[in-house]
Amino acid sequence: MADPRYLLTGILVAGAVTWALRAVPFALLAPLRDSVLVTYLGERMPVGIMLILAVYTVHGVVAEDWRSLGPTCLALAVTVGLHLWRRNLLLSIFAGTVVNVVLQSLLVART
Partner 1 sequence: MDLGNVADMPEPAAVVTDSAASGRPAEVAAGRRTGLLASTALMPLGLALGVLVVHSGLDWWWAPAIAALILAGSLEFLMVGLLAAAAPFAQIAVTALLVNFRHVFYALSFPLHRVGGYGWKAYSTFALTDEAYALTAPAESEGWSRARILTVQATIQVSWVASVTLGAGLGALIPPWVVGLEFAVTALFAVLTIEAYRVRASIPLPILGLVCALAGLLISPANMLLIGMSLFVVALLASYGLAGRRRASRG
**Residues 91-110 within binding reach of partner 1 (CB under 8 A):** 92-94, 96-97, 100-101, 103-105, 108-109
The answer to the question of residue 69 lying near partner 1 (CB under 8 A) is no
Closest contact distance (angstroms) between CB of 35 and partner 1 is: 10
Task: Give φ, ψ of 2 to 5 degrees.
Answer: -70, 155
Radius of gyration of the chain (CA): 20
Given candidates 5, 6, 67, 70, which one binds partner 1 under the rule CB under 8 A?
A: 6
The answer to the question of residue 80 lying near partner 1 (CB under 8 A) is yes
The answer to the question of residue 30 lying near partner 1 (CB under 8 A) is no
Closest contact distance (angstroms) between CB of 40 and partner 1 is: 5
Q: Decide: 82 and 92 in contact? Cβ < 8 Å.
A: yes
Q: What is the DSSP annotation of 17-54?
A: HHHHHHHHHHHTHHHHHT-HHHHHHHHHHHHHHHHHHH
By residue count, the chain amounts to 111
Closest contact distance (angstroms) between CB of 88 and partner 1 is: 9
